[in-house]
Amino acid sequence: MTAHRPVAPVENLPPGTWVSAWAPEGFPEVRPGDDLATLVGDAVAAGSTAALAEGDVVVVTSKIVSKAEGRVVCAADREQAITDETVRVVATRERPDGLPPLRIVENRLGLVMAAAGVDASNTPEGTVLLLPHDPDASARALRAALRARFGLDRLGVVVTDTAGRTWRDGLTDIAIGAAGVDVLDDLRGGVDAHGRPLSVTVTAVADEIAAASELVRGKADGRPVAVVRGLARHVRAGDGPEADGAGARTLVRPSADDLFREGSAEAYARGLADGRAGAPA
């Protein structure tokens, strides 16, 4: 087997012009109560304390965070688990063959996801996995432990999940937890090469890191951890709330501000009922 090695910087390129990512193989099955920071640290270290460098971002799937935190419930209760995680039903779609309807809901974390983010793949038979209770807190804890173990000042952590999107087929990974990373890169006030205000203003950096990490991790082959190097400009140094940052919760748009807070069919049906009931104009 080829030895695991730290992500090599792309040599002879100026800082800020390259990014590299690496996902160690052979990550062990995670069980409730496991110390996630130890498992992640061991995986990226592979016998070396130079495995992580200043400015790195460690990306982990929410699945391994949930498993370590014991967020497993019986699969017999899957629909109930979805209901329990639901704050607000956003849209539903009937499914064939007597399956319960697909529910797209806003969950406890403010995330709008199919099945509330309740996961039935890559879990032991008869169980489903809930999202971590507080993925930003999980990211902060992992960041603190990895900074201590590797003696680093500037380190970021992102916790990912896989989500569908409106209007586009296919799933991408998004950031549901973060620490030590600027989750949004606010370019407002900046100007373009012509001196005109930039109309593209706020980039969801943490979501792009999550997407990039999925490319290197893949889905099916036991590589739930990635190290992303080359983004030190987005990574914070030091201890405390200021260094941890606001977390991925910042990426959640409040539903009151969202033009798509409710499914089209659901909104139409509500309007139709109100119209029939003689709602005032």
d(CA 274, CA 92): 20
- Hey, which residues between 134 and 163 contact its own copies (CB under 8 A)? 162
Binding test (CB under 8 A) with its own copies, winner from 10, 74, 76, 148: 10
Contact 47, 145 (CB under 8 A): no
In the beta sheet, which residues pair with residue 106? 88, 112
Q: How far apart are CB 239 and its own copies at their closest, in Å?
A: 26
- Hey, which residues between 13 and 42 contact its own copies (CB under 8 A)? 13-14, 16-25, 29
Which are the contacts of 12, defined by CB distance < 8 A and separation ≥ 6?
none
Binding flags for its own copies, 248-267, as an x/- string (CB under 8 A): --xxxx-x--xxxxxxxxxx
Binding test (CB under 8 A) with its own copies, winner from 39, 52, 183, 225: 183
Q: How far apart are CB 238 and its own copies at their closest, in Å?
A: 23
Contact 144, 233 (CB under 8 A): no
Q: How far apart are CB 125 and its own copies at their closest, in Å?
A: 7
Amino acid at 188: R
Binding test (CB under 8 A) with its own copies, winner from 58, 68, 144, 212: 212
Work out whether 47 is an interface residue with its own copies (CB under 8 A).
no
Structure tokens at 6: 């730290």
Please give the size of the binding site for its own copies, defined by CB under 8 A: 105
Distances from the Cα of 199 to the Cα of 50, 188, 192, 193, 252, angstroms: 41, 8, 9, 13, 21
d(CA 194, CA 246): 33
Work out whether 79 is an interface residue with its own copies (CB under 8 A).
no
Residue 134 or 266: the one with the smaller Cβ distance to its own copies is 266
